[in-house]
Amino acid sequence: MDTVLITGANRGIGFELTRQYLNAGAQVIAACRDPNKADALQQLTSQARPPSVEQLDVTKQDSVDALASKLDGTPLDVVINNAGIMGGNRQSLDTMDYDAWADTFSVNTIAPFRVSTAFLPNLKMADRPRIITISSQMGSLNRQSTGAYIYRSSKAAVNKVMQVMALELKNYGIIVCPVHPGWVRTDMGGPTADISPQESAKGLFDLISELTIKDTGKFFSWNGEEHDW
């Protein structure tokens, strides 16, 4: 069964992915900023098949390097870049928080590259390695909509980063796909969103299980359909 590294695994979609991968028998490295405060994750450690809970701030090179050296020699089948932020309330024509814009790029756009490249040696050891980045339809250039400049631009940019990585890593057999997880009832998505974290994670789990090298460089939705760039 797969060994899966999930960032931002302490809540929301990342936590639910962790739970579903564990239930399917996978070995899960559940990475989060503060393991001591990750109560839901810590509860899973008493299960028959516990996750390995690891500290990881995806924006900090030291933190990424520390986990990479801890996992040195461990094959990784799947790396899921899930950690993400919205960028706050001030992201309109009237008011813009420029510091938040830079911070959001650091988490949503740069970190998926930082994390993916740090674990390339581990991915290269797996039979069907996959890099999955939880992006958003809000970054789709073909879907016209207003506002949320910070979040939209960070997700549009990470889609491009993943498209380039897909081309460069194809020769190594590494599948790279950005995915839209749906509008999900998490802290980020809010209580009125379309689907539950369970539905989203189940769809993503099924999609990720089926991916082959023919799919690399495609943008998918949580339900398995290809998404417009």
Ligand X SMILES: NC(=O)c1ccc[n+]([C@@H]2O[C@H](COP(=O)([O-])OP(=O)(O)OC[C@H]3O[C@@H](n4cnc5c(N)ncnc54)[C@H](OP(=O)(O)O)[C@@H]3O)[C@@H](O)[C@H]2O)c1
Residues 19-78 that bind ligand X (CB under 6 A): 32-34, 56-59
Give the count of residues interacting with ligand X (CB under 6 A).
Answer: 29
Closest contact distance (angstroms) between CB of 162 and ligand X is 13
Order the strands of the 220-221 sheet from edge to edge: 52-55, 27-32, 3-6, 78-81, 130-134, 175-180, 220-221
Take residue 187 and report the two structure tokens written for it: 């802290």
**Residue 174 engages ligand X in binding (rule: CB under 6 A):** no
Least distance CB 140 / ligand X (angstroms): 11
User: Is residue 186 a contact point for ligand X (CB under 6 A)?
Assistant: yes
User: If binding is defined by CB under 6 A, does position 183 make contact with ligand X?
Assistant: yes
CA distance readout (Å), 70 to 50, 75, 78, 82: 18, 12, 17, 20
For ligand X, the closer of residues 94 and 224 by Cβ is 224
CB-CB contact of 71 with 29 (8 Å): yes
Q: Are 133 and 73 in contact (CB under 8 A)?
A: no
**Is residue 219 within the footprint of ligand X (CB under 6 A)?**
no
Identify residues 73-112 at the interface with ligand X (CB under 6 A). Answer: 82-85, 107
In whole angstroms, what is the distance from residue 137 CA to residue 20 CA? 23
What residues make contact with ligand X under the rule CB under 6 A?
7-8, 10-14, 32-34, 56-59, 82-85, 107, 134, 136, 181, 183-184, 186-189, 193
